[in-house]
Amino acid sequence: MKKALFFLAMLPLILFSACSDDNENVTGLNGTIWEYNDGKYYKTILSFWETSFEMKSSLDIDEDGVFEISTTDKGTYEMNGNDLYFNSNDIDIKSARIDGDLIYIQLDESTDNIIFHKK
């Protein structure tokens, strides 16, 4: 009888301790917002969700403090270690790497890294 009571008492611990989140696609970037700011005339906000991203860029052409042009690009991404892979019809990113509170994005061979800071 003691063995049966012990087994019944331990059964919930055994059954419910193995539960985990089944969504393996969710990364540590989910819900984060990153910003690239080139002085006060150009800025880009990069937002991440579970498997998608949105990049909003704004440009102040006449440098009067008002952003006259803005674009929004959307797509999906994958994260493998510290490397990010973006998939979008609107932007072409050669490489991207996350390092703590910074994301380094290189658009092509001839450009320097664009550095996004975590907000």
**What does the DSSP assignment read for 35-95?**
EEEETTTEEEEEEE-SSEEEEEEEE-TTSSS---EEEEEEEEEEEETTEEEEE-SS---SE
For 32-89, the pLDDT digits (tens) are 999 999 888 999 999 999 999 999 999 999 999 899 999 999 999 999 999 999 999 8
Q: How big is the CA angle at 75 (ends 44 and 93), to the nearest 5 degrees? A: 65
Q: Which CATH architecture fits 27-118?
A: Beta Barrel (2.40)
33's tokens: 């917002």
Distance, in Å, from the CA atom of 6 to the CA atom of 13, rounded to the nearest integer, reads 11
- pLDDT score for 2: 47
What would the pLDDT profile of 79-97 be if each residue is shown by its tens digit?
999 999 999 988 888 899 9
Looking at residue 41, its pLDDT comes to 92
Domain ranges, ordered by start, for the chain? 27-118
Which pLDDT belongs to residue 11?
Answer: 47
Q: pTM (2 decimals)?
A: 0.73
